[in-house]
């Protein structure tokens, strides 16, 4: 179990890159997001000359919209002299151009500012103390003003929608900023260490509010916080309440429509959050590891619930999900052990990786037929669930989907299912009933390992692959008939099936893999088919009650230890052309 929870944790913490891959397009590397069908300009250490970044790139048969330039994307590229950025760009990091020829060439700067295609990239000490960002500026890069000691006041234009991460961080003399109503989000640490941040007079009851925007909080924040301001609160910055250990209760005002990324990140003593119907979005990791949070009813109007939103909220008792949600992002309710009941939205399409992983109190889950994607570990560790029905739109069960669901006794799989993924039902100790659809092609690595109550499964004839350890440690399994299409039985496929008495091999099987039936101590006899050519190492080792084996004339190899310690088996005689490995029959009767 320790290995399972560690793997879940690692999966959940790599959410941002899970569905991402790198691709080259016209000498520039991009990171692709196959869910949103967007592209980010990735790190390109050899960029030089003049670059044109297009609005869209085509990779294979798919088209991706270019929306961002990554942190340090072109850092140190001294020979990069010019770049054209498309209008589709939504985020740029100042650090993307550090040390480039573009930034080093002072002729590219105007009044202390570096501009690229109406994007304010960076500033220097020659900037005016009062700086009015001109109308027509469509974006300000993350960190654009960071560390600028010359700036004292900034007026933002109405054409700007976001103040990005660390934009004004450590601007020690910045005492005034005008935030227009068009600003819809403020990034993490946007004002940390600036003059406004350091001015105690700007703070009220542990909260820093600028033009109706909660920018930050400190340890003076009261345990029960009620939003109060002369100007209505319209926006909360990312991580604004993060790590406030004394905070116990919060009522979000009706003027708020978004609870942003990590807004209440790791508020250890937060027990209650009242969320109004005006909230349309809850951002990524919004309530991450709020371990005492018991009540946070989501509004019926909610349209987006971010990844890891309630990650590690171990005391969350119940939740109602809006029917406007069509995706549950990765790790949304990861390790919410107190969650017992939850109804999925009627028209939901995706349940991403680890959404309910570790929800050991969840007793029932009904997956709507609208779901066409289930991610890895989606229900892993949901030890109280007793039955699960997979909708018809699922073509392949993901890796570790129901791993360690120890009370799961029935799994209903749909016709049309192509594959059962690696470790999909590993450690489902109570699993007794599972139907393998006629469409199934592959049973993955350790797919049913340690399903101790599984007595038998019908292996349909279309199965071409039974992977390593697929039914290992199914201690109650008594009988198995291999499907007609199987050519190779992989390593340890039925190892340690202690009750296995009867095995029927298909006529086209050519190889029995290493340890395939090792320690099957109830197996008494087996008839090997005429097409069989190889018996792998330790294939039947310690099958102590195996008394009779019929060896076909076409058999070419019996590998080392194949029948070692089969105490009841009489050692047969073979023609000279059969290769017999070391200790193949050691411990057998002479």
User: Is pLDDT larger for residue 374 or for residue 27?
Assistant: 374
Q: Give, in words, the CATH class of 478-590.
A: alpha beta
Fold of 22-186: 3.80.10
Q: What is the pLDDT of residue 589?
A: 83
233: left (phi over 0), alpha (psi -120 to 50) or beta: beta
DSSP string, 278-338: T--EE-TTTTTT-TT--B-PPPTT--EE-TTTTTT-TT--EEE--TT--EE-TTTTTT-TT
Average pLDDT for residues 167-173, to the nearest whole number? 96
Yes or no: say if 471 and 494 are a contact pair by the CB < 8 Å rule: yes
Q: What is the pLDDT of residue 7?
A: 45
Assign 52 a pLDDT band (cuts: 50, 70, 90): very high
Alpha carbon distance, N-terminus to C-terminus of the chain? 44
Beta-sheet strand order (sheet of 304-305)? 258-259, 281-282, 304-305
Q: What are the φ and ψ backbone dihedral angles of 101, each rounded to 5 degrees?
A: -60, -30
Assign 272 a pLDDT band (cuts: 50, 70, 90): very high
Q: What is the pLDDT of residue 5?
A: 40
Q: What is the pLDDT of residue 20?
A: 61
pLDDT in tens, 421-432: 999 999 999 999
The kind and range of the H/E element at 12 are helix 2-13
- What are the residues facing 11 on neighbouring strands? none
CA distance 430 to 407: 5
Assign 575 a pLDDT band (cuts: 50, 70, 90): low
Radius of gyration of the CA atoms of the chain, in A: 31
In which residue are the tokens 């008594």 written? 478
CA distance 33 to 462: 34
Yes or no: say if 148 and 171 are a contact pair by the CB < 8 Å rule: yes
Q: What is the pLDDT of residue 15?
A: 39
The kind and range of the H/E element at 133 are none
Is 22-186's fold the same as 478-590's? yes
CA distance 481 to 472: 15
CA distance 34 to 18: 10
Nearest CA among 294, 177, 197 for reference residue 240: 197
DSSP helix/strand/coil, 16: helix
Q: Is the pLDDT of residue 334 over 50?
A: yes
Average pLDDT for residues 133-145, to the nearest whole number? 95
Q: What is the pLDDT of residue 226?
A: 85
Q: Is the pLDDT of residue 497 over 60?
A: yes
Under DSSP, the state recorded for 84 is E
pLDDT in tens, 205-236: 999 999 999 999 999 999 999 887 777 899 99
Q: What are the φ and ψ backbone dihedral angles of 433, each rounded to 5 degrees?
A: -125, 125
pTM for the full model?
0.89
Q: Is the pLDDT of residue 2 over 50?
A: no
Domain boundaries, the chain: 22-186, 478-590
- Which long-range CB contacts under 8 A does 164-167 form with residues at least 24 apart? 164/91, 164/140, 164/190, 165/189, 165/190, 165/238, 166/142, 166/190, 166/192, 167/140, 167/141, 167/142, 167/143
Q: Is the pLDDT of residue 547 over 50?
A: yes
**Average pLDDT over all residues of the chain:** 93
pLDDT in tens, 449-483: 999 999 888 898 899 999 999 999 999 999 999 99
pLDDT in tens, 80-96: 999 999 999 999 999 99
Non-local (6+) Cβ contacts of 542 within 8 A are 518, 519, 521, 564, 565, 566
pLDDT in tens, 439-453: 999 999 999 999 999
Cβ of 297: how many Cβ atoms within 10 Å? 12
Cα separations (Å) of 100 from 47, 145, 148, 372? 9, 18, 19, 45
CA distance 548 to 562: 14
pLDDT in tens, 367-413: 999 999 999 999 999 999 999 999 999 999 999 999 999 999 999 99
Largest CA distance in the chain: 98
Yes or no: say if 469 and 446 are a contact pair by the CB < 8 Å rule: yes
Q: Is the pLDDT of residue 161 over 50?
A: yes
């Amino acid at each position: 179990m320790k290995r399972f929870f560690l793997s879940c944790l690692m999966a959940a913490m790599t959410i941002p890159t899970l569905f991402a891959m790198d691709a080259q397009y016209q000498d520039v590397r991009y990171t692709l997001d196959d869910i949103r069908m967007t592209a980010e300009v990735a790190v390109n250490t050899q960029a030089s000359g003049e670059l044109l970044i297009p609005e869209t790139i085509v990779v294979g048969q798919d088209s991706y919209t270019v929306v961002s330039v990554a942190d340090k994307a072109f850092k140190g590229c001294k020979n990069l002299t010019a770049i054209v950025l498309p209008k589709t760009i939504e985020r740029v990091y100042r650090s993307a151009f550090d040390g480039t020829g573009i930034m080093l060439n002072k002729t590219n700067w105007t009044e202390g500012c570096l501009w690229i295609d109406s994007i304010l990239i960076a500033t220097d000490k020659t900037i005016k103390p009062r700086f009015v960002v001109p109308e027509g500026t469509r974006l300000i890069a993350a960190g654009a003003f960071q560390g600028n000691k010359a700036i004292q006041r900034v007026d933002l234009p109405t054409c700007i929608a976001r103040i990005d991460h660390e934009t004004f961080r450590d601007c020690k003399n910045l005492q005034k900023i005008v935030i227009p109503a068009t600003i819809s989000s403020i990034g993490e640490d946007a004002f940390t260490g600036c003059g406004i941040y350091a001015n105690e007079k700007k703070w009220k009851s542990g909260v820093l509010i600028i033009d109706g925007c909660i920018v930050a909080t400190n340890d003076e924040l009261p345990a029960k916080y009620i939003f109060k301001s002369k100007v209505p609160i319209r926006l909360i910055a990312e991580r604004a309440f993060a790590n406030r250990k004394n905070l116990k209760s919060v009522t979000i005002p009706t003027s708020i429509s978004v609870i942003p990324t990590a807004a209440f990140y790791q508020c250890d003593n937060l027990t209650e959050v009242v969320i109004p119907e005006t909230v349309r979005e809850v951002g990524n990791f919004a309530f991450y590891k709020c371990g005492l949070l018991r009540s946070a009813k989501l509004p019926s109007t909610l349209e987006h619930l971010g990844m890891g939103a309630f990650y590690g909220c171990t005391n969350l008792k119940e939740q109602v999900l809006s029917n406007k949600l069509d995706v549950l992002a990765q790790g949304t309710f990861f390790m919410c052990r107190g969650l017992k009941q939850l109804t999925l939205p009627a028209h939901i399409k995706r349940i991403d990786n680890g959404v309910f992983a570790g929800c050991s109190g969840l007793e029932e889950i009904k997956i709507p037929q609208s779901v066409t994607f289930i991610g890895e570990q989606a229900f892993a560790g949901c030890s109280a669930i007793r039955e699960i029905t997979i909708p018809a739109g699922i073509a392949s069960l993901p890796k570790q989907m129901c791993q360690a669901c120890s009370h799961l006794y029935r799994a209903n799989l749909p016709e049309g299912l192509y594959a059962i993924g690696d470790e999909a039902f590993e450690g489902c100790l109570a699993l007794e009933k599972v139907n393998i659809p006629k469409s199934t092609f592959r049973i993955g690595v350790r797919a049913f390992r340690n399903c101790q109550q599984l007595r038998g499964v019908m292996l349909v004839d279309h199965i071409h692959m039974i992977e390593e350890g697929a039914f290992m440690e199914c201690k109650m399994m008594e009988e198995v008939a291999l499907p007609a299409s199987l050519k190779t039985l992989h390593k340890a496929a039925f190892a340690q099936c202690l009750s296995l008495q009867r095995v029927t091999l298909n006529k086209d099987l050519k190889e029995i893999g290493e340890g395939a039936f090792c320690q099957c101590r109830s197996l008494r006899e087996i008839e090997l088919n005429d097409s069989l050519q190889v018996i792998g190492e330790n294939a039947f080792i310690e099958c102590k009650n195996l008394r009779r084996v019929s060896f076909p004339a076409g058999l070419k190899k019996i590998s080392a230890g194949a029948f070692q310690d089969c105490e009841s088996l009489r050692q047969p005689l073979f023609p000279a052309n059969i290769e017999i490995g070391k200790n193949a029959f050691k411990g057998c009767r002479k």
